Structure 1
Amino acid sequence: MTNYCKTFFVFLGDKPKQITIRNYTKQDIPALIDIQRECFPPPFPSELWWNEAQLLNHINNFPEGALCAEYDGRLIGSMTGLIVAFESEHPQHTWAEITDHGYIRNHNPQGDSLYVVDISVRPTYRKFGIGKCLMQSMYETVIHLQLARLLGGGRMPGYHLHAERLTPEQYVELVIQGELRDPVISFLLRCGRLPVTIVPEYLEDEESCNHALLMEWKNPFMPLTI
């Protein structure tokens, strides 16, 4: 394993604050579960938060894909990925299938794509670019491991407001054109992700009507051949 550790400044209000992004470890597990608790409060079911067995699998199976953001000695965000062999001609899948229900026992070191399992930032820190910094760190991991791309299914939480008049494809197109704003898809676009395809029944998600937008970031040093 190659350890990842990066320190930089973000602005919380008018003042620069030092943030560190690093690999998370066993000692971070209580804080990682607390981040989930804060990010997904009731009525979100607590049994869907990360559990200790899942987090241990992340650390043991693919530590390079287990990242956290730390400020003033406190974890404020995390991001997890695994490596998969992505077949562009067969892009349809569910979150549970491709992440092994979050346990990543299907992590494939011989795969070509880093797949995002989860990204979470404590609500208090969401306006300071922490999520974008975590995403950038995962792009750097893609380059370091010489993978072709980063992939992930983006929720479409604004879609339920327009589902009666728009198909998922029409909704995404309007978000891309800037006619609509989606909290997740717009964020991922700002992070440099590109749309691949709509994935129905990706996740049980009322706001997204169970849809997700599969999005990728291509390694600029390794042009895709498939």
Structure 2
Amino acid sequence: MYRKELFVFNGDTPIPAIIRNYEVKDFPDLIRIQRESFPPPFPSELWWNEEQLSNHVRFFPKGALCIEINGEIVGSITGLIVRFDPQHPEHSWSEITDDGYIRNHDASGNTLYIVDICVLPAYRKLGLGKWLMFSMSDVVTHLGLKRLLGGGRMPGYHKKANDMTPQEYLHAVTKGDLKDPVISFLLRCGRTPVHIAANYLEDEESCHYGALMEWKNPFYS
């Protein structure tokens, strides 16, 4: 199983942190993090529920990670293994993650797919999301998978939708002409664009598009 001890920084102040697999005892904290991170009008039925979390630790515990600061869980990342064909990339979040229940986890697949990443708002300046993403890359390397993949929201796109296609918007972000809160974060985590998926999520800010972005395992052969 996974356990990483490290220091994160609040300005110039180092803070000890632990990234580890989450367990059944952590479920109430994980649901609390979702509630605080996605307050109303975000629909409460989209927060993690205990059945989903139970499936995560049952079907793919190696892809269920959380981060602790001073003994408190303040963020998590969840994945499943799928068989991804770059020649046929179109899918929705709901389809590929089984609505977050991951009953379609395929241990013989080639790709670790990010289901969700979440960090408490009060801790988002510590770089925890990046460390969680790097830790999932560790899992990809450890299991000998081909890539880490996930669909990123493009929450800045609705402001530009009348002037450019989603592909043009993504290209502008990768060139540095525009910044997007999610896509720019994923670029900093080493992810690169693969495809723009239509109707990826019910997400008006992204005009329902998702940017599929991957990190390729440099040791894969």
Q: Normalised by the size of structure 1, how large is the TM-score?
A: 0.97
3-state DSSP class of the match of 2:125?
A: coil
Q: Which of these residues, 49, 52, 56, is aligned with residue 51 of structure 1?
A: 49
Q: CA deviation at 1:87?
A: 1.0
Instruction: Name the structure 1 match of 2:8.
Output: 10
Query: In the alignment, does 2:77 pair up with 1:79?
Result: yes
Instruction: Name the structure 1 match of 2:180.
Output: 182
Q: Which of these residues, 150, 153, 164, is aligned with residue 151 of structure 2?
A: 153
C-alpha distance in 2, partners of 1:22/1:178?
A: 34
Q: CA deviation at 1:15?
A: 1.6
Q: CA deviation at 1:13?
A: 3.3
Q: Mapping of 1:159-198 within 5 angstroms?
A: 159-198=157-196
Instruction: Name the structure 2 match of 1:102.
Output: 100
Q: Mapping of 1:21-40 within 5 angstroms?
A: 21-40=19-38
Unaligned runs of 5+ in 1: none
Q: CA RMSD in A?
A: 0.6
3-state DSSP class of the match of 2:184?
A: helix
Q: CA deviation at 1:14?
A: 3.0
3-state DSSP class of the match of 2:199?
A: coil
C-alpha distance in 2, partners of 1:169/1:86?
A: 21
Instruction: Name the structure 1 match of 2:137.
Output: 139
Q: CA deviation at 1:138?
A: 0.3
Unaligned runs of 5+ in 2: none
3-state DSSP class of the match of 2:151?
A: strand
**Letter matched to residue 202 of structure 1:** Y
Instruction: Name the structure 2 match of 1:70.
Output: 68
C-alpha distance in 1, partners of 2:113/2:150?
A: 5
Percent identity of equivalent pairs: 63
Q: CA deviation at 1:12?
A: 1.7
Query: Per-residue CA shift, 1:183-216, capped at 9, x if unaligned?
Result: 0000000000010010000000010000010000
3-state DSSP class of the match of 1:127?
A: helix
- How many residues align structurally? 221
C-alpha distance in 1, partners of 2:190/2:11?
A: 25
